[in-house]
Structure 1
């Protein structure tokens, strides 16, 4: 297993992956960073959890839009097939739900403190 250091909105995350997948993971990390910065810029004052939630939602929306037809996916470099796009969108949606749940828990804990 390999370790990759991702920098998402100025915070470093160490993620493990299979050997040989490091470059792809770095590329995906850059995409998440871009979307997280976009999410944070459009709705100032977001905490980290919500910023990552909105980044995940923006990415899910992008995957959904791009995965809608094979011709759209083939037109983009590094594109993915429809089945992969669907699985990715489902994974991102599950992640978004988990992040939202985590963010809600943090907000409740903050209110109680």
Structure 2
């Protein structure tokens, strides 16, 4: 079993992972650390837990934005809305084509 120590917002965290996943976990840790200063300021420096909450919110916001506006692609949210509309049209056409 692999072991990685990440330092995020000045705090060290030991993480167990599967062998071979160490570099991936380190890259994720670096991503978190890039936003740690912003999260620390947003949390008012009150606690590590609050800082991690703000860090999670920052990343969730980025994920939401990426899902809504993927680079070079169509948003899954837009596709879902389009599919719902097409299903409604199909249902209306079926109702119209069915004799009373």
TM-score (norm 1): 0.57
Q: Give 1:42 deviation, angstroms.
A: 3.6
Corresponding residue SS for 2:24: helix
How far residue 73 of structure 1 moved from its aligned partner, in angstroms, is: 7.6
Deviation track 1:42-74 (CA, whole Å, cap 9, x = no partner) reads 4423311100000001101111111235x4288
RMSD: 2.1
Q: Which position in structure 1 is the counterpart of 2:96?
A: none
Kept after mapping to 2: 8 A contact 1:66/1:73 = no
Deviating 4+ runs (over 3 angstroms): none
The gaps in structure 2 that reach 5 residues or longer are: 77-100
Q: How do 1:1-113 and structure 2 match up within 5 A?
A: 1-69=1-69, 71-72=70-71
- Larger RCO (CA within 8 A; separation ≥ 6): 1
**Number of residue-to-residue matches in the alignment:** 74
Q: Return the TM-score normalized by structure 2.
A: 0.63
Gaps of 5+ in 1: 75-81, 83-113
Q: Which has the larger radius of gyration?
A: 2
